[in-house]
Amino acid sequence: MAGKKLGRLLVGILTLLVAIGLFNGISATPVVAQAATVTGYGTPTQDPSSFLFWYSNTGFRTQPQDTYTTVGTTKKLTTAVGYSFLDTFFNGLSYNHFQWYQSTNNGATWTAIKGATSSTLSVTPTKPGTIYYQESFGYYLFVPPLLPDEYYYSRVAAVTALGSPINATGITVTADDHYLYSNQDEAGTTTVHATTAPTSATGDVTWTSSDPSLATVDKNSGIVTANSDGKSGTVNITGTITNEDGTTKSSSVSIKVGGGLDDQTVDSGKTATFTVQGKFPTTPAAVTWYKKAAGSSTATKVASGTSLTYTTPTTTSADNKAHYYADITIKSGINSKTITTNSAQLNVSYSDTPKVAITGTATDTTDNTGNTAHVLTNIVSGDTVKITGTITDTNPDKKMKAGLLFIKVPAYCSDTAIKVDNGTSDIQAPMKIGDSYYLVTRKAIDFSSNHSHSYEVDFKSLVDTDTDFTTNLQMEAFNTDASSLSGEASQGTNSVLGTAKDDHFDTYTSPDINLHFSSNTLTAQAGDVTFGSLSYANVDQVIEGQVLGGDDLLAVTDDRRDKTATTISLRQATPFSDGTHTLTAKLSYANGSTVKQLTDTNQVVLSAGAGIKVGSLNANRGQELQLVLASQAIYPGNYTSTLDWTITSAPS
């Protein structure tokens, strides 16, 4: 029995020695520069760096601050200690041993203050001047400690007593941390600080919280402690200095409280980014991200690595109300700890309205020369026109289930057919709706599973006159099963296709397609020419004729598909006459470079080779008639002459 007790005692002593040895190995690290200008009782320990709920080293996380007061007025100096992971792990049974010291001779000598063995010291100066204070603490089991160097020292704080009070004219408030965790085993804490103007103000600073349910603040020390219930929000911590005359000055700082993640709201089709908040002075050893689908209790890992930020894939309505959280592993030497953030919700804003895009390309399958995708310039009677394209709904959240296609076609056409997704051509006669004719799909297109479809429309033109025609493909979208819709049932109601159903979304349209139907002929119209009022003064002068109305001398429309070689000839069929008298005059045709006198015999005035389109003759190109009066007896009157134009095309 005695041997067993001795064994336990030896183990206890060995454990204690190991704990003290490790503690001693991470003891006080000197600070390069001190706030106070006097030498302290001990060398101030470096402030510990916060790493969430760990500290990089043991030391004072709240330091005593310099302060001003008046004789007989009490001031409080407050400290708080942060412990390194190794201290809390190996010295779990240890506790703090505090001691305050003071110096009345600028740090030349220091004395321990009897009974001052807590983290707070009340000071009441009895005469004007400055007294310096410093606190030490040891973290050990026994008194006195077994080893000599396990003490930590605060900064040196100066308490200056003045003969009369000084009022503060302003105050500025700062916080060591601006984000505190409320969902961990240990509530997050930070310290707020006040800087007065002037710094020698003697009033007392007190602290208040705008929402103690989020975070409380110690009235005197300024130590802020977050709630431990997981409640999130932003709290304002206000510092107020009360001057001795009763006036006050206040200022606030905002501190965010939460579990590390905020809810995110994005539009469907966009990505969302979640970022872990709080201070992380080094990169975590590991970060794993998880997702819970809306309504699900099962988490799925979506990312791993060391990033404190996660960006979702492109969102859809299915992601609405999903939740995300992260496990964060942090290390200190060989030791590690994992914390879990709160579960943040993803809110996805989406619309179920279809986003339909329709393309359309036209082709004259008989002869497509000179045409573009949206303009057919020369459709001859008997030509077959083909229009092809796609209909795509790009909204993944759409409710559209079906669509009816229709396209406007000329009144005079045959062999009309419409085909969807390379299926069988639906040959049908055009449907008259209002004053226009349409090809309409008899069966609705099913969009419930397939978001994109192709189509083809064909018709043979029977138009034999020069006509311009504009068409496009249109689709009416519905939130109803395709099997319940029929294009044939759309006649006689009140939309383009007559749809007046509650489940009708809208009508979607492709870009316009312009069709020019041609007579396949060359036609011409001669203009009337006047030479104005002439007199003897105009004899032997060249008078240029003017086409009435400013029209072309010969307006030519050449819609021939096969443009064979063509000539235009001109002759003066009759002389100038007023019905009684004949006017002796020379009439000529000028083309800008040559002048030909006209006779009663045809003369070629223009030649166009094969494949060349014949254009109109007009003064802009120098093409005009010219008149020269001969010296003669002139009888007043209106004289006219008839010209014959002859257009000759060579055989093809």
Q: Which CATH number fits domain 522-649: 2.60.40, 3.90.320, 2.40.50, 2.40.380?
A: 2.60.40
Q: Is the peptide bond before 144 cis (omega within 30 degrees of 0)?
A: yes
**Do 356-516 and 2-162 have the same topology in CATH?**
yes
* Distance from C-alpha of 381 to C-alpha of 469, rounded to nearest angstrom: 14
DSSP-H helix ranges across 581-630: none
The tens digit of pLDDT for each residue in 400-425 reads 888 888 999 999 999 999 999 988 77
Assigned superfamily of 2-162: Immunoglobulins (2.60.40.10)
The full set of domain ranges for the chain reads 2-162, 170-258, 264-349, 356-516, 522-649
The tens digit of pLDDT for each residue in 48-69 reads 876 555 676 788 988 999 999 9
Q: What is the pLDDT of residue 2?
A: 36
Assigned superfamily of 264-349: Immunoglobulins (2.60.40.10)
- CATH 2.60.40.10 assigned to 170-258: yes
Mean pLDDT by 10 residues, the chain (652 residues): 32 32 29 57 86 72 93 92 64 75 96 95 95 90 52 94 95 96 91 95 96 96 94 97 95 97 94 93 90 96 97 94 96 82 96 90 95 95 96 86 91 93 81 88 87 94 94 89 67 44 79 94 93 90 92 91 92 93 93 92 93 91 92 90 92 61
DSSP-H helix ranges across 47-121: 85-90
Helix, strand, coil percentages in the chain from 3-state DSSP, rounded to 5 = 10, 45, 45
Scored b (16 or more CB within 10 A) or e, 451-483 reads bebebbbbbbbebeeeeebebbbbbbbbbbebe
* Distance from C-alpha of 385 to C-alpha of 361, rounded to nearest angstrom: 11
Report the chain's terminal Cα–Cα distance, integer Å.
130
Q: Could you tell me which residues come within 8 angstroms of residue 504 by beta carbon, excluding any fewer than 6 positions away?
A: 476, 477, 478, 495
Strands 67-70 and 157-162: parallel
> Cβ–Cβ contacts within 10 Å for residue 622, how many?
11
The answer to whether 314 and 271 are in contact (CB under 8 A) is: yes
Topology, domain 356-516? Immunoglobulin-like (2.60.40)
Q: What is the pLDDT of residue 48?
A: 81
216: burial class by Cβ within 10 Å (0-12, 13-18, 19+)? buried
**What are the E-state strand segments in 306-444?**
309-311, 322-332, 335-340, 344-349, 356-358, 361-364, 375-380, 384-393, 402-409, 413-420, 426-427, 431-433, 436-440
